[in-house]
Amino acid sequence: MPRSLSIILPAKNEARSLERLLPGLRRRYDDAEIIVVNDGSSDDTVAVCERHQVKCVTHAYSLGNGAAIKHGARFAQGEILAFLDADGQHNPADIQRLLDHLDKGFDMVVGARDSRSQASIGRSLANRFYNRLASYMTGHEIKDLTSGFRVVRRARFREFLYLLPNGFSYPTTSTMAFFRAGYLVGYLPINVGKRLGKSHISIFKDGVRFLLIIFKIGTLYSPLKLFLPIALLHGMIGVGYYVLTYLTESRLSLATVFLLTASVTIFLIGLVSEQITQLMYKHSSQDK
């Protein structure tokens, strides 16, 4: 390979799938640095890594998937980082496809799952909602916001390590942060197999967390896209209520004044936040 590659696998009690996955990775990418980040596993993950001569970074206790990703990114030496799950869902052969797509001028390429590759109908619907909301916030089409299978230029990825949460939301945060910084993100369709063992993701708990992170990164990206619709909603309700009270009671109610004042206040907060965001990213780019 023309550039050095580090393959990073966050793992928590995935020894059984690693036993099958690591030999295939080693055969296909014998020059790559393969790193398993053992996030406080209670199985024989360390022994499996030793048996297949793979680097293993071990957490004394579980810190979360995002923490494992950050630790692996700091430890890796390759110019290009490839992240994939250790549960056997991702096909190692697809790494080369993502790398080839990266060479077309992208800073990050994400393996995008189709609806057939989703674990359940509920998760498929949730991902569609996340994709559309994040696409609105960024102004770019996001085909798979939560996919953990991606290749990225190390220097670019490490700029945003401080933003990444320790839980399961690192794909969401990194994708939106890349778009906000003006970096090029590409997508490539992939097929995902059935995982070995039980998933560590809670649909409801982590679903709410994903949603909050979209709004959090969204306010860093373009605050007005959040504040403006809320301001318009308050304004429309205020005007509508004024028309109703004027026609029925011929008066201006305090509720109308409150709603209209809130509308203007929310808009101004969003406008100021937008300016602060622009200045923050301007100074950040100058520092580089």
**How would DSSP label each residue in 227-250?**
HHHHHHHHHHHHHHHHHHHHHHHS
- Tell me the one-letter amino acid at 8: I
In the beta sheet, which residues pair with residue 9? 36
Are 69 and 10 a contacting pair, CB within 8 Å?
yes
Q: Which of 56-60, 127-131, 162-166 tops mean pLDDT? A: 56-60
In the predicted model, is pLDDT for residue 63 greater than 70? yes
Are 107 and 80 a contacting pair, CB within 8 Å?
no
Q: Nearest-CA neighbor of 51 among 10, 86, 15?
A: 15
pLDDT digit string (tens) for 141-157?
Answer: 888 888 889 999 999 99
Q: What is the per-residue pLDDT for 281?
A: 56
In the predicted model, is pLDDT for residue 119 greater than 80? no
Are 135 and 141 a contacting pair, CB within 8 Å?
yes
Q: What is the per-residue pLDDT for 282?
A: 54
Alpha-carbon distance 33 to 240, whole Å?
63
In this predicted model, which residue has the larger pLDDT, 80 or 247?
80
Inter-helix orientation angle 203-221/224-249, to 10°: 90
pLDDT band at 283 (very low <50, low <70, confident <90, very high): very low
In the predicted model, is pLDDT for residue 278 greater than 80? no
In the predicted model, is pLDDT for residue 115 greater than 70? no
Average pLDDT of span 270-288: 67
Percent of the chain with pLDDT over 70: 84
Kindly state the tokens that stand for 69. 């990703």
Average pLDDT, the chain: 85
Kindly state the tokens that stand for 30. 């014998």
Q: Nearest-CA neighbor of 70 among 8, 146, 113?
A: 8
In the predicted model, is pLDDT for residue 122 greater than 80? no
**Which pTM was predicted?**
0.77
Q: What is the per-residue pLDDT for 207?
A: 60
Q: What is the per-residue pLDDT for 132?
A: 84
Are 52 and 81 a contacting pair, CB within 8 Å?
no
Average pLDDT of span 190-194: 77
Q: Which of 22-36, 137-151, 156-170, 184-198 tops mean pLDDT? A: 22-36
In the predicted model, is pLDDT for residue 284 greater than 60? no
Which pairs count as long-range contacts for 96-105, CB under 8 Å and 24+ apart, including other chains? Answer: 96/28, 97/188, 97/190, 98/149, 98/150, 98/151, 98/188, 99/1, 99/5, 99/151, 101/186, 101/188, 102/151, 102/152, 102/153, 102/186, 104/186, 105/184
Q: Nearest-CA neighbor of 159 among 276, 74, 269?
A: 74
pLDDT digit string (tens) for 157-179?
Answer: 998 898 888 877 788 888 888 88
Alpha-carbon distance 245 to 251, whole Å?
6
Q: What is the per-residue pLDDT for 1?
A: 45
